[in-house]
Amino acid sequence: MLLPIALLAVLLQALPAPAGRAAISVTAASRSIQPGELVVLTIAASDPAAPVRVRAFDREWPTFTDGTRGLRALIGIDLGVRPGRYAVEIDAGSARTTYPLTVKIRAFPTRRLTVDPNLVNPPADALERIARENRELERVWAEPSDVRLWDGPFVRPVPDPANSAFGTRSFYNGEPRTPHGGADFSSPEGTPIATPNAGRVALAQSRYFTGGTVVVDHGLGLFSLFAHLSRIDVRTGDVVKTGTVIGAVGATGRVTGPHLHWAVRANGARVDPLSLLSVLGVDSPRPERPKRRPNIHDRD
């Protein structure tokens, strides 16, 4: 069971605007301001009819209305962002303000694994498949739903604890590979996987590195990817609700044992799923399974 993590809340009030001009206030909530974290901005402008634009990390971030909380935007700090001071630029009609994000250093662990050599340096006859699958996934990231599809808080896809750190630097058979871009959950093979929130299935297929894989588009650039499934229970295009079973935990693809790999993309940024649960989720206590120490590892 994951323990609740207190959110870091920072309030920035725009300087008083001259008479007759609009003003903007911004509230930000996050687990921390580090690579791999999700920051939720709540924006209030004195001219509520003005369109609001949010820009940070050289890209535009969509906004949405979240019930009584008002206008919000999700800002993902990508795994590869360097520590330093960054600006979130917010425009609302004639008003403009800048919200500062000071990204702090985040230390990531290192792991060394021994796996099938063909999953480290694939044979020539697998290269075309890998390239095709990479193109397919890039198209998914590039074509999110332009409306919000998720509804209510996010929940854990399985009841088991996460036991492989997001961002871990990996060496497979002594060779460095891309950092671990998700969270691993130590679930036994066959455990049902439930969608953490509503959305549309953007991809459902077996892939070379990630095995049985399902991607759910939650809308507005927010995606969940689930890997290494032993079976897939949905098809591309299916509409799912929070808790819909999309498949079962397995050990397919580049792994050393059964587990669930859950990765999250926010407008292209690789963010820790546990950060998503911290700022937009309900991580309610659930019965724990018997303690065990599986050797679980995978590729992004």
- pLDDT of 12 > 50? The answer is no
pLDDT digits 0-9 by tens, 105-127: 988 777 666 666 666 678 898 89
C-alpha 170/C-alpha 177 separation (Å) is 6
d(Cα 127, Cα 121) in Å, to the nearest integer?
10
pLDDT of residue 176: 57
Q: How far apart are CA 249 and CA 291, in angstroms?
A: 18
The residue-averaged pLDDT of 21-50 equals: 89
Spatial CB neighbours of 168, under 8 Å, sequence gap ≥ 6: 108, 109, 110, 111, 179, 180
Averaged confidence pLDDT in the chain? 84
Q: What is the pLDDT of residues 214-226, one digit of tens each?
A: 999 999 999 999 9
* Cα–Cα dist 30/184, whole Å: 21
Q: What are the φ/ψ torsions at residue 7 (nearest 5 degrees)?
A: -80, 145
Question: Is the pLDDT score of 265 beyond 50?
Answer: yes
Q: What is the pLDDT of residues 89-108, one digit of tens each?
A: 999 988 999 999 999 998 87
Give residue 49's pLDDT.
83
* pLDDT value for 257: 86
Segment 236-264 shows an average pLDDT of 94
How many CB atoms sit inside 10 A of residue 137's CB? 20
The whole-number pLDDT of residue 138 equals: 96
Q: How far apart are CA 101 and CA 2, in angstroms?
A: 27
pTM of this prediction? 0.84
Residue 6 has pLDDT above 50, yes or no: no
> What letter does residue 213 receive in the DSSP assignment?
E
* Mean pLDDT, rounded, for 46-53: 87
Mean pLDDT computed over 154-159:
96
Mean pLDDT across the stretch 156-177? 76
> Does 270 score more than 60 pLDDT?
yes
Full set of structural domains in the chain with CATH: 8-103 (2.60.40.1590), 110-280 (2.70.70.10)
